[in-house]
């Protein structure tokens, strides 16, 4: 699986030619969690180090690729008991995504927007995919809160393309999510086949991001630094963002 992933990433790098190419692998919460001995498998799958995988991939990237290390920042913040991962869902929080954004900014050579620049809002209760898959009472009794940041103050204008339909004048964040299991839709309003995001920036910078649905809270922060973003999110976990000066 690792070799297949490396091959795919390097083919993508070669396909984009001279554009700046950044790669980021994000550890999941299990990397920093002690796994009870009664659920360990004989092959030790649950306890294999994600960092070993992440480092191996970073060392095998095609020449010219820039690997963005988010592991160290997230590990330190997790050990400081910051709210980086949801209890009831597979995804990370907006705070964790912000830390990744600052690591990306350092790699890309620009100063990130301060977190304090965005008003913080909350959506609760949030019962994510772990709960919808299991219906476990212990998860229901420990529902999450989604803290998100009002990035729309950057005056972004989002167009969403979904099932051959086009929806204009959308936002980057939504607080009006009715179903607690869909609370993650506060980011970009939900999963769609493609997003086009334009801002009032005049620097001409454009960016393409390819990722899974965990990119949904990450992408809005980039509107502070890029004039145009074209993004695609597919339900299974494919995310794309469009780029021009060119990152």
- DSSP codes joined into one string, the chain: -HHHHHHHHHHHHHHTTTS-EEE-----GGGGSPPPGGG--TT-GGGS-HHHHHHHHHHTPPTTEEE---HHHHHHHHHTT---B-SSSSSBPHHHHHHHHHHHHHHHT-PPPPGGGS-EEEEEEE--HHHHHH--HHHHTT-EEEEEE-GGGG--EEEEEETTEEEEEE-SB-S---SGGGGGGGBTTS--SEEEEE-S--S--EE---B-GGGTTTGGGGGGT-SEEEEEEETTTEEE---SS--
| pLDDT tens per residue across span 7-38 | 999 999 999 888 999 999 999 998 998 776 66
Mean local confidence (pLDDT), 219-245: 61
pTM, full prediction: 0.88
Q: Which among 91, 95, 99 is positioned nearest to 68, based on CA atoms?
A: 99
Q: Residue 65's beta-bridge partner residues?
A: 21
What pLDDT sits at residue 39? 64
Tell whether the model's pLDDT for residue 106 goes beyond 90: yes
What pLDDT sits at residue 47? 66
| pLDDT tens per residue across span 154-169 | 777 888 787 678 888 8
| pLDDT tens per residue across span 108-141 | 999 999 999 999 999 999 999 999 999 999 999 9
């Amino acid at each position: 699986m690792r070799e297949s992933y490396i091959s795919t990433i390097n083919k993508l790098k070669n396909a984009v030619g001279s554009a700046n190419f950044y790669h980021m692998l994000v550890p999941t919460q299990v990397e920093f969690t002690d796994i009870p001995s009664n659920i360990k498998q004989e092959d030790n799958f649950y306890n294999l180090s994600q960092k070993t995988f992440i480092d191996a991939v970073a060392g095998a990237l095609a020449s010219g690729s820039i690997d963005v290390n988010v592991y160290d920042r997230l590990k330190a913040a997790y050990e400081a008991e910051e709210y980086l991962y949801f209890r009831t869902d597979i995804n990370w929080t907006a705070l964790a995504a912000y830390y990744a954004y600052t690591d990306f900014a350092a790699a890309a050579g620009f100063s990130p927007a301060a977190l304090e620049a965005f008003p913080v809002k909350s959506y609760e209760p949030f019962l994510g995919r772990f709960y919808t898959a299991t219906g476990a009472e212990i998860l229901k009794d420990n529902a999450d809160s989604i803290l998100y940041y009002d990035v729309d103050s950057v005056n972004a204008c989002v167009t969403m393309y979904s099932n051959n339909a086009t929806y204009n004048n959308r936002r980057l964040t939504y607080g009006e999510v009715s179903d607690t299991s869909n609370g993650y839709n506060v980011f970009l309003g939900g999963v769609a086949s493609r997003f086009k995001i334009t801002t009032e920036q005049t620097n001409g910078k454009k960016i393409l991001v390819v990722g899974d649905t965990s990119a949904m809270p990450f992408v809005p922060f980039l509107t502070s630094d890029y004039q145009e973003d074209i993004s695609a999110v597919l339900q299974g976990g494919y995310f794309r963002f469009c780029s021009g000066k060119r990152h």
